[in-house]
Amino acid sequence: MPAPVPPTDRDAAVTRYLQLRPLIKARLAEAMPADLREEFATVTPHQVRALLALPRAGLSMRQVAAALGVTGATASVLADRLEGQDLARREHDGEDRRVVRLVPTDRGWSLAGRVAAAERETARLLFDRLSDPQVAAWLDVLETLAAADVLEGAR
């Protein structure tokens, strides 16, 4: 494995990040239980993200779009695909029939719960490889990136 990149060499840091990202992604995928990996043969990461965003009572299509940061049309296509796989269903809101809610089916709710548990365990296993200061530094970096528009200068 190459030596750590000096903090002032940003080009080398970008290169190393791009080298490490697929390795970490592969390690995360390997850590998923076999039954979930099989299920992901037909369920896309975007669909899983949608399922993880859905509470048991569901969300309006507008709320689904907002939660995923997509357009209403994209949320509608995603809902079609989730319905086609029996992971969610559309229901009219009991208080306003004009509002359509996307509600997870039992299968979708179960899958979301299993994914959330597997992601939690995978993160725990990753953190077990790090010292407490490394975990704190990693979370600090993530908090910084989450709080800022990191692509602001690229536009």
Residue 104 bridge partners (DSSP): 88
Question: Is a pLDDT exceeding 70 seen at residue 102?
Answer: yes
| Lookup result for tokens 């390997």 | 30
Domain containing residue 128: 10-147
C-alpha Rg value of the chain to the nearest Å: 19
CATH of the domain at 28: 1.10.10.10
Q: Kindly state the average pLDDT of the residues 36-40.
A: 78
Tokens of 43: 């369920």
Decide if 3 is inside a domain.
no
Question: Taking 70 as the threshold, does the pLDDT of residue 153 lie above it?
Answer: no
Q: What mean pLDDT do residues 29-55 have?
A: 86
The pLDDT-based confidence of 61 (bands split at 50, 70, 90) is very high
**Residue 134 domain-assigned (yes or no):** yes
In this structure, is residue 91 part of a structural domain?
Answer: yes
Amino acid present at 149: D
In a domain, 83, yes or no: yes
- Using CA atoms, how far apart are residues 78 and 72, in angstroms rounded to an integer? 10
Q: Going by DSSP bridges, is the β-strand pair 59-60/88-92 parallel, antiparallel, or unpaired? A: unpaired
Kindly state the average pLDDT of the residues 134-144.
92
Quick one: pLDDT band at residue 152, thresholds 50, 70, 90? low
Assess if residue 89 is contained within a domain.
Answer: yes
pLDDT at 8 over 80: no
Q: Is the dihedral of CA 147, 151, 45, 49 positive or negative?
A: positive
The mean pLDDT of the chain is 88
Phi, psi of 146 (to 5 degrees): -70, -30
Closest CA to 64 of 146, 73, 111, 42: 73
How many domains are there within the chain? 1
Strand pairing report for 88-92 and 100-104: antiparallel
Mean pLDDT on 131-143: 93
> Partners of 59 in the beta sheet?
102
DSSP 20-79: HHHHHHHHHHHHS-HHHHHHTTTS-HHHHHHHHH--TT-EEHHHHHHHHT--HHHHHHHH
pLDDT of residue 6: 61
5 within some domain:
no
Query: Is residue 99 a part of any domain in this protein?
Result: yes
Amino acid code (one letter) for 73: A
Is 141 inside a domain boundary? yes
* pLDDT computed for residue 1 by the predictor: 60
Average pLDDT for 97-108: 93
